Amino acid sequence: MRQKIVAGNWKMNTDLDSGIALAKAVNDSASSKTTDAIMIIAPPSTHLSEIQKVLTDVKMSTQNCASEEKGAFTGEVSVDMIKSTGAEYVIIGHSERREYFNEDSATLAKKVDLCLSRSLRPIFCIGEVLSERESNEHFNVVFSQLSDGLFHLSEDELKNIVVAYEPVWAIGTGVTASSDQAQEMHAFIRLKIAENYGKEVADSISILYGGSCKPDNAKELFANQDVDGGLIGGASLKAEDFIQIVNAF
């Protein structure tokens, strides 16, 4: 059985006090969880060690990590720093990192390797922009991102990856991929993993959907065979919305 996962990407929102309050509210809401889905929150890095103290039923992720181990890289946050906070997951390759910080596939592959070397689980994001979908390039784009970022891994390493399919045109826009569009791409991603690593491995990998996922559309999206949960932006900033999405399974 694949793990169901709902992860909240807080992005650059909340100060320390409001972040701790939100983390507590999310953690409290976990007591009304009606599914075995794993709940993860990804607060800003500055909040991690304080937030870890209030979490009992929710796991913690970062939104990024440095591509180098340590040294003179002003402003960067290393995998060892992340590990020392108690975080277990790292979001890698979010479209905002790819677009605004020019993160290319070679850099992202290095980040994946560094995370795995510290037993941190990457939540690896892939997804096409609107013009790529409109020109029917979306499968090629998603396959390139998937293979360039992950297919150098061994089978055992790949099993620690969570994939997040996030069509860029759906992120923060209020436009969600239809249930059919999500299932079609998730099945494609699983097929490509199966072609390279075998069906058993492909069937064990959780593939999350991200892009304007909300309490009112999560049920339909999560009902798909190959959709194993969600990476949630805006709606993860309200504990009530987040738990409703979790309970949409």
Positions marked active-site: 94, 166
Residue 190: CB minimum distance to ligand PEP, A: 20
Residue 6: CB minimum distance to ligand PEP, A: 11
Give whichever of 197 and 209 is closer to ligand PEP, judged by the CB atom. Answer: 209
Measured from the Cβ of residue 198, the count of other Cβ atoms closer than 10 Å reads 11
Instruction: Judge contact between 49 and 87, C-beta under 8 A.
Output: no
Q: CA-CA distance, 76 to 222, in Å (whole number)? A: 35
What is the maximum alpha-carbon separation in the chain? 48
172 binds ligand PEP (CB under 6 A): yes
Q: How long a stretch of residues is the chain?
A: 249
Give whichever of 108 and 235 is closer to ligand PEP, judged by the CB atom. Answer: 235
Dihedral class, residue 203 (left if φ above 0, else alpha if ψ from -120 to 50, else beta): alpha
Closest CB to ligand PEP: residue number: 233
Please pick, from the candidates 90, 126, 231, 239, the single residue that binds ligand PEP as defined by CB under 6 A: 231
Residue 49: CB minimum distance to ligand PEP, A: 23
211 binds ligand PEP (CB under 6 A): yes
9 binds ligand PEP (CB under 6 A): yes
Q: CA-CA distance, 119 to 130, in Å (whole number)? A: 34
Give whichever of 226 and 233 is closer to ligand PEP, judged by the CB atom. Answer: 233
Residue 249: CB minimum distance to ligand PEP, A: 17
210 binds ligand PEP (CB under 6 A): yes
Q: CA-CA distance, 93 to 65, in Å (whole number)? A: 10
Instruction: Judge contact between 233 and 42, C-beta under 8 A.
Output: no
Give whichever of 43 and 211 is closer to ligand PEP, judged by the CB atom. Answer: 211
64 binds ligand PEP (CB under 6 A): no
What DSSP letter does each residue of 40-59 carry, written as one string? EEE--GGGHHHHHTT-SSSE
Q: CA-CA distance, 76 to 74, in Å (whole number)? A: 6
217 binds ligand PEP (CB under 6 A): no
The region of 36-44, 111-119, 154-162, 228-236 touching ligand PEP under the rule CB under 6 A is 228-236
Q: CA-CA distance, 240 to 243, in Å (whole number)? A: 5
43 binds ligand PEP (CB under 6 A): no
The contact set with ligand PEP (CB under 6 A) reads 9, 166, 171-172, 210-213, 231-235
